[in-house]
């Protein structure tokens, strides 16, 4: 059951990662840090301002959205002007720098100890006769899925969402039909940050907030993205669930600690034998520079 | 440097021979200053700082050998150092072999692993290869943390020192010799036909292949050499620090090496060494900056990637050009005045 919840969170993370890679060609190494920032925002809005849990989660989403806009304008706009042919690698290195900076800024501001809450909601629900699940995890999962669905509708039904997808498919073509690339980029990056922030906020009662918390979600969302193929947004949804379940099973059979070895070895095998992912998507710029 | 060389006297022939090994005047001077440093600095703490700068500088050079030449960013580089460190650590503590002998398994194990990694990343390019090495590093880290029978996990494995006396000066000379060997070796490789092949692969794999360069062979060679260097430095690290935890294999260490190499200048080799020698002591000295050390690293990395993708090396090179140009202009002016 916790495999499902984790799966829901990995979907949120992986969709954002995949989106930024598909649209902007940035392999984001700092994605986990937005998860961390989201968890911190949720912690403060929940404990200090006493907002209700749902509002706290949304506030975390809004906070990371704004952070995303700022970072895109400050860092990636100048980078796009300067670096042309080595864009993927340079932007990867820039996000590595961003990741170091964000982790340590968080340490400087909030300290390195755990900031967690016991739960958003008390109590648990009985599913069937034997399975007990706390409301907390249940609502966390529901929020995650709801956000994914809303986001899915946004991408497929609204005009802005369609223009994001158009840029992902063909940048020049999108520009020709009058889509303003720079604002699509900013929006995409900000939305991706927001999804990661919401993911961090949803899991706050299970994983307390601390500066280094982003590392595991980062490599797990990379795991999902590589599993289903870079830039394959729909596939990330299936992939998130697969990874969540895989992890729950290897935890159950092998005990904690070794689950990382199992999932990491799996991803290495996928990279070796099926580098385009199990659904075999092909995205611009994956093989070239 | 285009002006005619004075007729082959003894000094110029030596400098040209030295240049073959990549030892330009600046680099020689740097090594000389370092060699006499412990005689001047009587302070053990300063020597410790120099040791860690040289260690990180050499790691950055080994990293740059791959990143700057075949254009694959090895985000798991620290794990290869860790393999070397654990190879010597486990063999010296379990089998009781001499710490000096541990050097061989350290290099061999890291080299074998590098060879295998080279094979694994063959089909992948750019960012995929980087992610692959990252996952490999994470796997090795998780394995080291979980194989408690072998590595003692987070408790730490204590490794015997190389020397019985507590002085750090012998360690300093060992790491200095290692640094010089690493530098000269890498320069020799890069100046041979192998280096040209690396360059071709780094620029464009397809056209390299079309002109008869076998990318498989050269990528594997590059990875093996680079990881053997990591293993060698892991050996030094293990016996110098004396206690090993899986933390030396963590992504954080790899990222720090990466930051030094890129701040120094991709593909320059000496840039990473210089960056380590400057930045590590500066941060240690400015204690009040210590808290912000990693923030500054991150921000510097971002700024360098945006504004100076060539790093310190390219800035220095262009400064050197400006200097030469101004000397030229000065000379011309003087000649005009004289003539």
Q: Which range, A208-212, A263-267, B220-224, is most confident?
A: B220-224
pLDDT reported for residue B4? 47
pLDDT reported for residue A214? 83
Nearest CA-CA distance, residue A83 and chain B, Å: 7
Mean pLDDT rounded to a whole number for chain A? 79
pLDDT category at B118 given cuts 50, 70, 90 is: confident
Nearest CA-CA distance, residue B10 and chain A, Å: 45
Residues 210-229 of A with CB under 8 A from B: 215, 219, 222, 226
Residue B59 lies in a domain: yes
Q: What is the DSSP code (8-state) at residue B71? A: -
pLDDT category at A285 given cuts 50, 70, 90 is: very low
Q: How many residues does chain A have?
A: 289
Summarize pLDDT for A83-112 with one digit per residue, the tens: 777 788 888 888 988 988 888 888 888 877
Residues 152-211 of A with CB under 8 A from B: none
Nearest CA-CA distance, residue A103 and chain B, Å: 8
Residue B110 lies in a domain: yes
Instruction: Indicate yes or no: CB of B301 within 8 angstroms of CB of A96.
Output: yes
Residue B300 lies in a domain: no
pLDDT category at B232 given cuts 50, 70, 90 is: very high
pLDDT reported for residue A124? 59
Residue B51 predicted with pLDDT over 60: yes
pLDDT reported for residue A244? 80
pLDDT reported for residue B117? 84
Nearest CA-CA distance, residue A22 and chain B, Å: 14
Residue in chain A nearest B73 by alpha carbon: A89
**What is the number of structural domains in chain B?**
1
pLDDT reported for residue A133? 67
Tell me what the mean pLDDT of segment B291-306 comes to. Answer: 82
> What structural domains and CATH numbers belong to chain A?
2-273 (1.10.3470)
Tell me what the mean pLDDT of segment B230-237 comes to. Answer: 91
Summarize pLDDT for A215-231 with one digit per residue, the tens: 888 888 888 888 877 76
Residue B3 predicted with pLDDT over 60: no
pLDDT reported for residue A129? 58
Instruction: Indicate yes or no: CB of B120 within 8 angstroms of CB of A99.
Output: no
Asked which of A70-74, A259-263, B60-64 is least confident by mean pLDDT, the reply is: A259-263
High-pLDDT (> 70) share of chain B, %: 90
pLDDT reported for residue B81? 92
Tell me what the mean pLDDT of segment B250-259 comes to. Answer: 86
**Beta strands B243-244; B157-158: pairing state:** antiparallel
pLDDT category at B216 given cuts 50, 70, 90 is: confident
Q: Find the CATH number of the domain harbouring B102.
A: 1.10.3470
Residue B335 lies in a domain: no
Residue B148 predicted with pLDDT over 70: yes
Nearest CB to B146 within list A86, A215, A257: A257
Q: Alpha-carbon Rg of chain A, whole angstroms?
A: 19
Instruction: Indicate yes or no: CB of A105 within 8 angstroms of CB of B73.
Output: no
Residue B298 lies in a domain: no
Instruction: Indicate yes or no: CB of B128 within 8 angstroms of CB of A92.
Output: no
Nearest CB to A82 within list B139, B300, B307: B307
Q: Give chain B positions within 8 Å (CB) of A102.
A: 298
pLDDT reported for residue A65? 92
- Contact assessment for residue B213 and residue B195, using Cβ atoms and an 8 Å cutoff: no
Q: Give chain B positions within 8 Å (CB) of A92.
A: 73, 127, 130
Helices (H), B96-246: 103-120, 126-146, 148-151, 169-191, 193-203, 205-210, 215-241
Residue B18 lies in a domain: no
Residue B314 lies in a domain: no
Tokens of B48: 């410790």
Summarize pLDDT for B315-332 with one digit per residue, the tens: 888 888 888 888 888 888
pLDDT reported for residue A131? 63
Q: Which range, A280-284, B195-199, B203-207, is most confident?
A: B195-199
Q: What is the pTM (predicted TM-score) of this model?
A: 0.83
Residue B223 lies in a domain: yes
Asked which of A40-54, A116-130, A191-205, B118-132 is least confident by mean pLDDT, the reply is: A116-130
Nearest CB to B146 within list A83, A90, A261: A261
Host domain of residue B136: 24-292
């Amino acid at each position: 059951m916790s495999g499902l919840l984790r799966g829901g969170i990995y979907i949120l993370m992986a969709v954002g990662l995949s989106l930024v890679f598909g649209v902007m060609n940035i392999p984001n190494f700092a994605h986990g840090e937005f998860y961390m920032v989201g968890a911190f925002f949720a912690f403060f809005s929940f404990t200090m301002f006493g907002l209700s849990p749902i509002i706290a989660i949304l506030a975390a989403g809004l906070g990371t959205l704004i952070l995303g806009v700022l970072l895109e304008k400050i860092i990636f706009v100048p980078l796009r002007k300067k670096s042309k042919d080595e864009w993927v690698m340079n932007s990867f290195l820039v996000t590595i720098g961003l990741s170091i900076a964000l982790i340590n800024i968080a340490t400087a501001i909030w300290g390195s100890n755990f900031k967690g809450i016991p739960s958003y909601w008390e109590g648990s629900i009985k599913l069937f006769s034997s399975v007990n699940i706390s409301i907390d995890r249940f609502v966390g999962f529901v929020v995650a899925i709801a956000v994914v669905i809303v986001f899915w509708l946004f991408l497929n039904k609204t005009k802005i969402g369609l223009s994001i997808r158009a840029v992902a498919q063909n940048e020049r073509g999108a520009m020709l039909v009058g889509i303003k690339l720079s604002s699509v980029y900013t929006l995409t990056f900000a939305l991706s940050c927001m999804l990661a922030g919401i993911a961090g906020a949803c899991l706050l009662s299970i994983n307390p907030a601390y500066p280094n918390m982003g590392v595991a979600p980062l490599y797990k969302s990379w795991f999902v993205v590589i599993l289903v193929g870079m830039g394959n947004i729909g596939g990330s949804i299936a992939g998130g669930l697969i990874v969540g379940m895989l992890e729950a099973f290897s935890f159950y059979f092998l005990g904690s600690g070794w689950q990382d070895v199992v999932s990491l070895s799996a991803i290495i095998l996928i990279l070796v034998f099926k580098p385009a992912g199990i659904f075999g998507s092909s995205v611009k710029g994956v093989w070239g520079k | 440097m285009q002006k005619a060389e004075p007729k082959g006297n003894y000094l110029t022939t030596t400098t040209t021979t030295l240049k073959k090994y990549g030892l330009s005047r600046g680099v020689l001077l740097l090594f000389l200053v370092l060699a006499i440093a412990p005689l001047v600095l009587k302070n053990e703490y300063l020597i410790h700082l120099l040791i860690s700068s040289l260690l990180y500088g050499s790691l950055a050079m080994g990293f740059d050998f791959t990143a700057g030449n075949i254009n694959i960013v090895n985000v798991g580089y620290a794990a290869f150092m860790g393999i070397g460190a654990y190879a010597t650590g486990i063999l010296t503590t379990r089998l009781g072999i001499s710490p000096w002998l541990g050097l061989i398994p350290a290099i061999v194990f890291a080299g074998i692993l590098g060879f295998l990694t080279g094979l694994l990343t063959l089909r992948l390019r750019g960012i995929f290869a980087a992610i692959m090495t990252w996952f490999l590093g994470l796997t090795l880290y998780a394995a080291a943390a979980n194989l408690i029978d072998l590595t003692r996990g987070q408790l730490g494995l204590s490794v015997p020192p190389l020397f019985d006396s507590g002085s750090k000066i012998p360690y300093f000379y060992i790491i200095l010799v290692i640094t010089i060997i690493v530098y000269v070796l890498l320069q020799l490789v890069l100046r041979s036909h192998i280096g040209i092949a690396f360059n071709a692969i780094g620029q464009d794999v397809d056209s390299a292949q079309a002109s008869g360069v076998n990318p498989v062979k050269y990528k594997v060679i590059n990875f093996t050499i680079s990881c053997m260097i990591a293993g060698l430095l892991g050996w030094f690290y293990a016996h110098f620090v004396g206690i090993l935890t899986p933390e030396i294999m963590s992504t954080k260490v790899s990222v720090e090496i990466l930051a030094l190499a890129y701040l120094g200048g991709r593909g320059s080799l000496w840039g990473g060494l210089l960056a380590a020698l400057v930045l590590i002591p500066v941060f240690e000295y400015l204690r009040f900056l210590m808290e912000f050390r990693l923030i500054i690293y991150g921000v510097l990395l971002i700024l360098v990637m945006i504004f100076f993708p060539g790093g310190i090396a390219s800035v220095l090179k262009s400064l050197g050009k400006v200097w030469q140009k101004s000397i030229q202009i000065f000379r011309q002016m003087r000649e005009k005045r004289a003539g």
